Structure 1
């Protein structure tokens, strides 16, 4: 399946945003999460995930993150929303995707938008893994998420 220009551009923007966020964090700054209604450049990373009706879609691994060594509360906020202008309804799960023994999936909500936290110990580098499942009113659900 070929990617659209929009998808490629979104991945480039996500990679640049993640790089800038990592630079800011290593310099001692903190980043804030975007609201579900408006994912923007203030988030550390943005990604997309899709799922079919009552079936978990492929795992999205577009965002990696390193938690600070000290002063960290042990949680990472994931904010998401379905494609605007649609009647899609999704359930979204996320986890810390370590190479060995990934964490258990944690619900970050169901509906058209939402947010939730994923356990993330201090001084830990890993990918945020996100998966989506469409619910009865739509055959597919496409979700944009940010950390």
Structure 2
């Protein structure tokens, strides 16, 4: 299973869509909030089903949840935007929520900074932002997760 993971699109999708069309097609999209409508737009453009959670920049009436737990090929995946877990200061609260949910991987956005960190067997991953990057590298990014017997995570830069 190949999954496109994106967050914090903030209404700017064209370069992301073009880049994803140029690589091997994902089977599923995870949009981690801040412009949940973008998740639907990306899904339609790529003809791939989405799973979307809302972020702090989304209106509560959007109809999307703040958290989702999905199981794929025996791996539990926790999706959240991250703003309720203090991810700017550290990942501890996110990690403990993931452990509480028995997740193998916790996906979050909010900081616009790509990161992959493993803590006690749980992968914590932020895809960065394809439209408004922050952090040292300041590169526009999204991520691809491949799930088989193991979980493989890769960040991809957008020119």
Q: Same fold (TM over 0.5)?
A: no
Higher helix share: 2
> TM-score, with normalisation over the residues of structure 2?
0.27
- Structure with the larger RCO, 1 or 2 (CA within 8 Å, 6+ apart): 1
> TM-score, with normalisation over the residues of structure 1?
0.28
Higher strand share: 1
Compare CA radii of gyration and give the structure with the larger one: 1
